[in-house]
Structure 1
Amino acid sequence: MDAPRTIACLLYPHVMSLDLTGPLQVFASANDERQRQGLPAAYRLLVLGQQAGPMPTSAGFQLVVEQAWSAIEPAYIDTLLIPGGQGDKAQCQNIELLAWLRSAAPQIRRLGSVCSGALILAAAGLLNGRRATTHWADLDCLRQEHPQIEISGDCLHTYDPQDPCGNGHIFTSAGVTAGIDLALALVEADLGRPLALAVAKRLVLFLRRPGGQAQFSALLTPEPSRVPRLASLLEWIPLHLHADLSLAALATQANMTPRTLSRIFNQELGMGPGRYVEIVRLEAARNLLQNAQASISTVARLSGFNHPENLRRTFHKHLGISPQEYAERFA
């Protein structure tokens, strides 16, 4: 690497401060590690905004915009990251910013988002036809408002420098700290795995975190009032997790034919009865593990999985980690 690469991050009113400072610290720490090895800095960090000066974050304190994005030559930027935060909706309506992003994208080597910053890239039309993720709480919004995007809800980021479909050029990351995971992946692509691992060790981080963001999200079931045809059944299921909750048993409880029940579930919940039961049982198991109320085998029995192996398979399927790892992380 010759001259330092410019890593720029967008700053706007009420941004999530960690979305911006977390990734930038990773790049700064990469510079520190190179200095320890007697090597020059690899990165030049830059904070861009609508205009230079202090800007309030969602945490209440201010960060400083060093330069207006309209005054910089996009080709000067190696990597641009768009953070999320409470102010993202206003930026999705910022016509000047969206136009600048569209014109700058072909000139910037890498353009990515952190957390709900994906909504800003989507508003600029830069994620159409691409695979993308965002904070789990914003996935439905991204899916509904931008159906042209292929949503990957459980990955921590979509950056892949070897992907021929362009995920090494434009990419996204999930909620908040996933921006740090993304930055580590960018450093690894630039400077190699040993240096990225050194940065991760220095910051006490996983170089590659186990599991996806689903382990942090709430698999919340809908309010019965929103699904009137299923209200009674949805109230009954959590109280009978240990019972036979097969399609036939659920249909009998709901006084419907299995075919009718499956059709209504898919219409109102977007999933079949079997998947819904699995999610409710998983949520019950998560609550038991978080509260450290029982052993893995007891949790499996109380949540209706009956055997620890069934519980383990379901955890890996939905969360990417084992029940034991989940308990160690969240209990």
Structure 2
Amino acid sequence: MDDRKCIAALIYPDFMSLDVVGPLQVFASANVERNRQGLSDAYRLLMLADQAGPVNSSAGMRLIADAAWCDVNPASLDTLLIPGGFGETRQCENQPLLSWLQQAEPHIRRLGSVCSGALILARTGLLDGRRVTTHWADIDTLRQHHELLVDSDCLHTYDPTAGDGSEHLFTSAGVTAGIDLALALVEADLGRSMALAVARRLVMFLRRPGGQAQFSALLAPEPSRTPRLAELLEWIPSNLGSDLSLEALASKAQMTPRTLSRVFARELGTGPAGYVERVRLEAARSLLQDAQASISTVARLTGFGHPENLRRVFHKHLSISPQQYAERFGREFHHA
């Protein structure tokens, strides 16, 4: 009897190759790690398409579909992942596929999407009323589905402990977030130690929490119309321990506080206080990952002052404490 969990990925013309290969490699590596421990494979991998055979990805590479989705018994699938890609728009109009997904959903233990695959899943109506995410570039398109609760700033919505259905239907952000999702699925199936072994094998951190922001505040776009703001943004990261209040920043930029707030909102879509908080958070994360200082020292160096202030901001943006972050991602953690 084959008791391996069947992990399937849907592929279609112009799918994003990494949306498929990245997550499936996580499950394949879990098998390798189990074999190293003298255990049998936990997973069987399957690729499904309109019909069996080669399918072109958006990168021009071809993957081979093992079977047509319409020929597969949905009850035989433990997990089905729907990737994004340039061909996603056509699949949103693929009524036979959408109907099959609707009929298959009750029989599949876990049904999720990677990147803009969320748009395909949304068209089935199965995500109505649920918290969802996708690649940041497709958030506005996803918001056109008014029945969805769109979260633009998380990596994935899978949560095996929530009890709200997010262990059954879930979405993830762009490209590499699918790998974070797959690691979360492996952790739920096989435990944290196995997921950690897989992450190490793939030379990854284990694991970015699903609630982590999609991209760094330090990667915010450079303002194109206000040179004084550009100079201020270059100055802030080197002066995180300084007074970065609205009044102090306005004085540095030679603007009134009201004008500076208006320029921040126009150029960056956020206020000065929110921006400074995110830059301080990114700096703190970097220090904790590199194990360069204790939590108390990190809080002081990055301008949070007290460790409790640092803890509040970590929970607000990452749903994790600084200590937990350091233990998960740091090369070596200092508690003091």
Common fold, TM-score beyond 0.5? yes
Task: Give yes or no for contact 1:237–1:277 (8 Å, CA) kept in 2.
Answer: no
The equivalent of 2:295 in structure 1 is none
Give 5+ residue unaligned stretches, structure 1: 226-230, 286-306, 323-331
Task: Give yes or no for contact 1:83–1:117 (8 Å, CA) kept in 2.
Answer: yes
SS in 1 for 2:179: helix
The equivalent of 1:329 in structure 2 is none
CA displacement at 1:106 relative to structure 2: 0.8
Task: Give yes or no for contact 1:214–1:318 (8 Å, CA) kept in 2.
Answer: no
SS in 2 for 1:214: coil
Moved more, 193-202 or 105-114: 193-202
Task: Give yes or no for contact 1:10–1:82 (8 Å, CA) kept in 2.
Answer: yes
CA deviation map 1:34-73 (0-9, x unaligned): 2222222111110000111111111111111110101111
CA deviation map 1:124-181 (0-9, x unaligned): 1121111111112212221x31222222222221111111110000011111111111
Separation in structure 1 between the aligned mates of residue 85 and residue 108 of structure 2, nearest angstrom: 23
Task: Give yes or no for contact 1:161–1:167 (8 Å, CA) kept in 2.
Answer: yes
Separation in structure 2 between the aligned mates of residue 273 and residue 216 of structure 1, nearest angstrom: 16
Separation in structure 2 between the aligned mates of residue 51 and residue 216 of structure 1, nearest angstrom: 40
The equivalent of 2:144 in structure 1 is 145
Which AA in structure 1 matches 2:80?
Answer: L
Spell out the pairing of 1:45-84 with structure 2 (5 A cutoff).
45-84=45-84
Provide closer, same or farther for how the CA distance between residues 50 and 262 of structure 1 changes in structure 2, counting only shifts above 3 A: same
CA displacement at 1:197 relative to structure 2: 1.5
Separation in structure 2 between the aligned mates of residue 188 and residue 268 of structure 1, nearest angstrom: 40
The equivalent of 1:194 in structure 2 is 193
TM-score for both structures, normalised by structure 2: 0.70
Spell out the pairing of 1:231-310 with structure 2 (5 A cutoff).
309-310=302-303
Separation in structure 2 between the aligned mates of residue 41 and residue 266 of structure 1, nearest angstrom: 52
The equivalent of 1:206 in structure 2 is 205
Provide closer, same or farther for how the CA distance between residues 216 and 52 of structure 1 changes in structure 2, counting only shifts above 3 A: farther
The equivalent of 1:228 in structure 2 is none
Give 5+ residue unaligned stretches, structure 2: 284-299, 326-336
Separation in structure 2 between the aligned mates of residue 38 and residue 277 of structure 1, nearest angstrom: 50
Percent identity of paired positions between Structure 1 and Structure 2: 58
SS in 2 for 1:55: strand
The equivalent of 1:34 in structure 2 is 34
Separation in structure 2 between the aligned mates of residue 239 and residue 150 of structure 1, nearest angstrom: 35
Provide closer, same or farther for how the CA distance between residues 146 and 223 of structure 1 changes in structure 2, counting only shifts above 3 A: farther
Separation in structure 2 between the aligned mates of residue 122 and residue 174 of structure 1, nearest angstrom: 14
CA displacement at 1:6 relative to structure 2: 0.7
Provide closer, same or farther for how the CA distance between residues 222 and 96 of structure 1 changes in structure 2, counting only shifts above 3 A: farther
SS in 2 for 1:148: coil
Separation in structure 1 between the aligned mates of residue 269 and residue 61 of structure 2, nearest angstrom: 41
Could you list the structure 1 runs, at least 4 aligned residues long, displaced by more than 3 angstroms after superposition: 216-225, 233-242, 244-250, 265-279, 307-313, 315-322
Count matched residues.
Answer: 303
SS in 2 for 1:166: coil
Task: Give yes or no for contact 2:223–2:268 (8 Å, CA) kept in 1.
Answer: no
Task: Give yes or no for contact 2:113–2:121 (8 Å, CA) kept in 1.
Answer: yes
CA displacement at 1:212 relative to structure 2: 2.5
Which AA in structure 2 matches 1:169?
Answer: H
Which AA in structure 1 matches 2:109?
Answer: R
CA displacement at 1:266 relative to structure 2: 9.2
Which AA in structure 2 matches 1:189?
Answer: A
The equivalent of 1:132 in structure 2 is 132
Separation in structure 1 between the aligned mates of residue 246 and residue 36 of structure 2, nearest angstrom: 62
